[in-house]
A = this chain, B = another copy of it.
Amino acid sequence: MVTMRDVAQRAGVSIATVSFLLNDTKPVTAATRARIEQAMVELGYRRNMVARALASRRTHIIAMAYPALEHKFGMSTAEFFTSAAEAARKEDYHLVLWPVGNDGVELRELLGQGLVDGVVLMEVQLDDPRVDVLQQAGTPFALIGRTTELEGLSHVDIDFDTTVEDAVKHLYDHGHREMALISGDLDDPRFHDYGPWVRTEDAYRRVAASYGLPVVVLPCSDTTQAGKLAAERLLAEHPETTAMLVLNEYAALGVVSGLRRSGRDIPADMSVLSLLMVPETAAMTDPELTMMRTPGPELGQLGTEALIRELEGADPLPPQLVPAKLFPGATVTAPKAPQPKASAGRRAARKARS
């Protein structure tokens, strides 16, 4: 292995000078620089990150902590990851995906080992034990998502309020007055505290109310099967519904199947709008889903940048909320007929999860 000592020797300088050049910590004359650089090329020198990490107490590794067991790693997550990795690389950091459990135990283990400078936390819960672990360990971190208690935490997140507002408006403008949200399944203990689900549902109730719409919300976990069942249940319990907003990516696919299996035409009989989705998934249905596109690339990048600023001791970036933007597909159109004042339907609607 070629070490800094070898380079220094060949260039006729001390290893300190080589280090200064490499880290740009002290000025070096053009002539010396040239000699050193030549020596590095000739010897094929590559700086050893482990030694550097030990001496500088910075590994330049950022872990993206992902609860691989609790949350399936879908296309949306992949977007977060790749954009974050790219952002990190630009700043001379390695960003790697590190599978850790949601309870913080493995994360504590990891931090204790001093292998990572900072952590980007994914799939944040409103009250997330991993945040406590990170704070205790004193490891810098950024959240992609938000806890309830945000005091002084670097974070970026989806702007659920705006997203839901825009989504509802889109349907409202098409003439829909009987909508339903196929939400997350907050009864599942693994997710009762999962930010996106809680926030979307809250936002929807607020927005729907502000539009004077009946609030219909059905729980549904993020699987195609669950989506099918939810669609069937909705048709049975709220036949007046003309448009559905579906929170979960894979559930949305199931909703489409479920509606079709029940003989509904999309969008003629029912409009479907998917909240939080990536184009690849939207293209999986026929017709292609109208969706609010998850701002994964933006959030991955922003979150990583926020963390790196903290690591470098720069002024922290202000928290950012990015809305998902509407990508029209072909699953939303005007409802078939003007809504009758179906008071029975209304009552049933009010009952659901409200």
Contact = CB atoms under 8 A, between A and B. Distances in A.
Interface of A: 1, 46-51, 53-54, 59, 61, 63, 68-69, 72-75, 78, 81-82, 85, 94, 96-99, 110, 112-115, 223-225, 228, 250, 253-254, 257-258, 260-261, 280, 283-286
Contact of A81 (B99, B224, B285): B99
14 contacts: A48-B114, A50-B54, A68-B78, A68-B85, A72-B280, A73-B82, A74-B78, A96-B97, A225-B283, A250-B284, A253-B284, A254-B283, A257-B284, A258-B286
Given A73-B73, A254-B284, 4 more contacts: A49-B113, A94-B115, A223-B283, A224-B280
A98 B99 contact: no
Nearest to A97: B97
A81 to B, nearest CB: 7
Given A72-B75, A115-B94, A50 B48 contact: no
A40 to B, nearest CB: 12
Nearest to A281: B224
A102 to B, nearest CB: 14
A282 to B, nearest CB: 9
Contact of A257 (B85, B96, B254, B285): B285
Contacts of A228: 286
A73 B81 contact: yes
Contacts of A99: 81-82, 85
A113 B48 contact: yes
A54 B57 CA distance: 13
A74 B75 contact: yes
Contacts of A284: 224, 250, 253-254, 257, 284
A33 B88 CA distance: 43
Contacts of A78: 68, 72-74
Nearest to A45: B112
A83 to B, nearest CB: 10
Contacts of A223: 280, 283
A48 B113 CA distance: 5
A49 B61 CA distance: 13
A69 B68 CA distance: 21
A23 to B, nearest CB: 15
B50 A250 contact: no
Contacts of A72: 75, 78, 280
A253 B280 CA distance: 11
